């Protein structure tokens, strides 16, 4: 912003208008009114060509809002008491006479101002007048010194999202080279998605150890290459609308994933995420695998060995033929294998770990699954229900009755037709992979299949320890 403040100077000499000129007024015409975004910058055709740096084009990626009596945006463009006029300029009069030598219009044509009579909007703030020229594409051209900017109505955003101020992505658009980078810079919605993704990535960098962040750095670079290729941004003549929509979906999803990726702490111990990313061309498949690593003490080694073995980190899930069972017969669809985890309770006794998968392997529907691991931090091993419940206590009967009643209430509340098919409940509640343990309660997650033929759903039942305590061991590690 300091760079923007530094050149609060009058930019143009007064233009001699070629046609009738409106008298100055506080209201802009409809063709100018509202938000415009600076999407491009180049050296004016009257100047010696040179490569632009960010400092040369400080308005780039900002938006300016022309409203009644006011211009909102970066300094020095913003002002109160703005006055507006409109009219027509000839080539030789545009840009304060910088195209006076352009007798045949060749220079003006280079910046998409081929019409000899250029529709012009003048905005006066105090003693400074600035002219904006409508180009051949219904965008606008504006010059600061020898730098010509292109402004357009913001694309990729709802009208309610339009606002003045910075609207660029996480990178310097003067250095944009690839088609994908240029599309990101040119679309306000996609630029916002890129900026959100960049912020999530930097937050991870600040929270992770350098060693573990390195896995995200490698994986993120591979993911960007995958997103550009799979969305067609590297095609010789990409469909800008289709590519932009695809990239926005990919970037939004990726940002959400990284935002959910956290570091968990319990004393000197931490649970940090590591990332694996891989893609293959035939059939088009990407695998994004975020898994936990414990750091900070001798307790970490046993847990990390358990994760390595249990999650089968010596292989890739996309190579699992039982999961990707359709082979190459996927009708050109993009496939994916996603795995993620989150942490419930983590202290010096218990780590409750939720591992979820979301896979599209062909067919009709995305497939999701989850597993809950309960790790004994002190014990240095996974804990089972036998570690929690007293021998001889008829806890299964009690829990089945408690959960059945609770699930029936939830299903009726949701208006789901049919009766609860309870045959799977005893099997699920006897499986520790359905139990998570909090500070004061246990949570059972059930996958429910309704008699009515409704799709399967996951329901949680919470049982306070004070209710469950008669069935728990006195020294149960969760207490």
Contact 351, 380 (CB under 8 A): no
The tokens describing 430, both together, are 């006897």
Contact 334, 286 (CB under 8 A): yes
Length of the chain as a residue count: 479
Confidence of residue 328 (pLDDT cuts 50, 70, 90): confident
pLDDT tens digits, one per residue of 23-69? 889 999 999 999 999 999 999 999 999 999 989 999 998 999 999 99
Task: Tell me what pLDDT residue 16 has.
Answer: 42
* C-beta contacts of 227-233 below 8 A and 24+ residues apart: 227/180, 227/251, 227/254, 228/178, 228/180, 230/284, 230/286, 230/334, 231/180, 233/178, 233/179, 233/180, 233/183
Q: Please, what is the average pLDDT of the chain?
A: 89
Contact 152, 39 (CB under 8 A): yes
Read off the pLDDT of each residue in 387-392 and give the average, rounded to a whole number: 93
Give the span between the Cα atoms of 241 and 290, in whole angstroms. 31
Comparison of pLDDT for 414 and 253, the residue scoring more: 253
Task: Tell me what pLDDT residue 157 has.
Answer: 63
Task: Tell me what pLDDT residue 415 has.
Answer: 80
Query: Does 455 have pLDDT greater than 70?
Result: no
Three-state secondary structure call for residue 70: strand
Contact 361, 325 (CB under 8 A): yes
Give the span between the Cα atoms of 421 and 386, in whole angstroms. 27
Distance of alpha carbon 426 from the chain centroid: 41
Task: Tell me what pLDDT residue 418 has.
Answer: 61
Give the span between the Cα atoms of 299 and 118, in whole angstroms. 73
Give the span between the Cα atoms of 37 and 139, in whole angstroms. 10
pLDDT tens digits, one per residue of 50-59? 999 989 999 9
Give the span between the Cα atoms of 169 and 54, in whole angstroms. 13
Query: Does 19 have pLDDT greater than 60?
Result: no
Read off the pLDDT of each residue in 108-112 and give the average, rounded to a whole number: 95
Task: Tell me what pLDDT residue 158 has.
Answer: 59
Give the span between the Cα atoms of 434 and 461, in whole angstroms. 10
Query: Does 454 have pLDDT greater than 70?
Result: no
Read off the pLDDT of each residue in 205-234 and give the average, rounded to a whole number: 93
Residue ranges of E strands in 187-266: 264-266
CA distances from 358 to 241, 287, 323 (A): 28, 10, 12
Measured in Å, how far apart are the chain's first and last C-alpha atoms?
55
Task: Tell me what pLDDT residue 261 has.
Answer: 95
Residue 55 gets which letter from DSSP? G
Query: Does 453 have pLDDT greater than 70?
Result: no
pLDDT tens digits, one per residue of 255-299? 999 999 999 999 999 999 999 999 998 888 999 999 999 999 999
**Closest by Cα among 160, 123, 158, 108 to 29:** 123
Task: Tell me what pLDDT residue 422 has.
Answer: 60
Model-level pTM?
0.78
Task: Tell me what pLDDT residue 11 has.
Answer: 37
Task: Tell me what pLDDT residue 448 has.
Answer: 80
Query: Does 419 have pLDDT greater than 70?
Result: no
Residue ranges of E strands in 218-329: 264-266, 269-280, 285-295
Radius of gyration of the chain from its Cα atoms, rounded to whole angstroms = 31
Confidence of residue 18 (pLDDT cuts 50, 70, 90): very low
Spatial neighbors of 215 by CB under 8 A, at least 6 apart, are: 274, 275, 276
Confidence of residue 161 (pLDDT cuts 50, 70, 90): low
Comparison of pLDDT for 1 and 476, the residue scoring more: 476
Task: Tell me what pLDDT residue 1 has.
Answer: 40
Three-state secondary structure call for residue 364: coil
Confidence of residue 188 (pLDDT cuts 50, 70, 90): confident
Spatial neighbors of 164 by CB under 8 A, at least 6 apart, are: 35, 62, 63, 64, 65, 72, 73, 74, 78
């Amino acid at each position: 912003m300091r760079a923007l403040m530094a050149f609060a100077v009058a930019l143009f000499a007064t233009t001699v208008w070629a046609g009738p000129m409106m008298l100055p007024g506080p209201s802009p015409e409809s063709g100018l009114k509202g938000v415009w975004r600076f999407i491009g910058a180049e050296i004016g055709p009257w100047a010696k060509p040179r490569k632009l740096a960010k400092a040369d084009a400080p308005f780039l990626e900002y938006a300016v809002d022309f409203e009644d009596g006011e211009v909102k945006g970066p300094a020095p463009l913003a002002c109160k008491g703005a006055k507006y006029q409109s009219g027509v300029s000839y080539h030789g009069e545009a840009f304060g006479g910088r195209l006076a030598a352009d007798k045949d219009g060749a220079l003006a044509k280079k910046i998409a101002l081929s019409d000899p009579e250029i529709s012009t909007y003048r905005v006066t703030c105090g003693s400074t007048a600035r002219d904006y020229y409508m180009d051949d594409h219904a965008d606008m051209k504006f010059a600061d010194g020898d730098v010509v900017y292109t402004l357009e109505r913001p694309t990729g955003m709802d009208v309610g999202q339009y606002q003045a101020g910075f609207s660029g992505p996480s990178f310097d658009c003067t250095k944009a080279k690839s088609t994908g980078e240029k599309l990101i810079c040119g679309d306000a919605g996609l630029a916002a998605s890129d900026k959100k993704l960049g912020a999530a990535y930097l937050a991870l960098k600040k929270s992770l150890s350098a060693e573990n962040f390195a896995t995200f750095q490698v994986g993120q670079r591979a993911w960007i290459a995958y997103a550009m290729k799979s969305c067609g941004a590297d095609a010789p003549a990409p469909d800008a609308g289709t590519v932009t929509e695809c990239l926005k979906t990919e970037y939004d999803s990726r940002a959400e994933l990284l935002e959910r990726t956290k570091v968990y702490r319990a004393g000197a111990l931490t649970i940090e995420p590591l990332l694996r990313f891989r893609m293959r061309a035939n059939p088009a498949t990407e695998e994004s695998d975020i898994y936990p690593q414990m750091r900070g003490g001798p307790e970490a080694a046993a847990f990390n060995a358990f994760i390595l073995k249990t999650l089968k980190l010596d292989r890739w899930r996309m190579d699992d033929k039982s999961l990707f069972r359709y082979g190459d017969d996927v009708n050109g669809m993009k496939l994916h294998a996603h795995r993620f985890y989150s942490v419930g309770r983590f202290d010096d006794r218990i780590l409750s770990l939720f591992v979820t998968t979301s896979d599209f392997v062909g067919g009709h529907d995305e497939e999701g699954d989850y597993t809950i691991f309960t790790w004994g931090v002190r014990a240095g091993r996974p804990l089972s229900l036998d570690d929690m419940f007293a021998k001889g206590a008829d806890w299964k009967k009690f829990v089945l009755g408690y959960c059945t009643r609770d699930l029936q209430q939830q299903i009726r509340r949701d208006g789901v037709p049919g009766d609860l098919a309870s045959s799977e409940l005893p099997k699920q509640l006897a499986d520790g992979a359905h139990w998570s343990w909090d500070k004061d309660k246990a949570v059972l997650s059930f996958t429910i299949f309704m008699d009515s033929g409704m799709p399967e759903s996951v329901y949680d039942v919470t049982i306070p320890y004070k209710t469950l305590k008669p069935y728990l061991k006195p020294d149960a590690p969760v207490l």
